[in-house]
Amino acid sequence: MTKLSVNINKIATIRNARGGNIPDVLQVAVDCERFGAQGITVHPRPDERHIRYQDVLDLRPLITTEFNIEGYPTDRFISLVKSVKPHQVTLVPDPPEALTSNAGWNAIKHQDFLREVIAEFKQEGIRVSVFMDTDCKNIEAAAKTGTDRVELYTEPYAAGYLVNKEKAIAPFVKAAQCVRDIGLGLNAGHDLSLVNLQYLSDNIPWIDEVSIGHALISDALYYGLKETIKKYKDQLK
């Protein structure tokens, strides 16, 4: 069964908008788990515009499910992850100034770099996932880096879903099959929502984990956090 990891960056964005500690990022993480989330995801950026590096340090002893840290592997990020030792680190290729992740790795071009970084994390016993598009040759190159999982960047699927969901899902099914044939674990994330999640899950039932933040937190404004997490988990059954 696919696990739901809740990305709490948006909670930190709201907190930082006013200063202080409302909403309390640490308490929200604990409550997400209490409400059924099977993991917590954060993406600390160098400017700390949402999750701060101190948040990551403070969260680690509180997480009782799985802790997933996303980010571009700068020296500072690598040091943070190695000190925190989350269950999983997800490597994304976006530069520090990017508003949000918007593409997967070119694993053919950056294979040596990824291999070196991944080896550092695996020496610490941390599972590694790399953020990828749907090109199978690129996924095959990623497999040679030593990564444990591939996270498919699902924004193109989400964007195409309302236009032609069969066409939108097709390259993701093919890519997911490539990942499975290679023997890697499979994650998925970016722009997944209550609108498109179940169709993804129905067509690729072997996804290990989805990481969802923006849509889930937005839905929680209407449904409440507890009910929203239940609704998202129901899409994955």
Catalytic positions, written as ranges: 43, 70, 190
Q: Is 96 helix (H, G, I), strand (E, B) or coil?
A: coil
How many other C-beta atoms lie within 10 A of the C-beta of residue 125?
8
Question: Smallest Cα–Cα separation from 216: which of 24, 1, 4?
Answer: 4
Question: Smallest Cα–Cα separation from 172: which of 190, 185, 153, 197?
Answer: 153
Our CA angle for 32, 88, 34, nearest 5°, is 15
Backbone angles phi, psi at 139, to 5 degrees: -65, -40
Chain-centroid distance, C-alpha 214 = 12
Q: Is 201 helix (H, G, I), strand (E, B) or coil?
A: helix
Side-chain-facing half-sphere of 182: CA atoms under 13 Å:
24
Asked if the peptide bond before residue 171 counts as cis, ω within 30 degrees of 0, the response is no
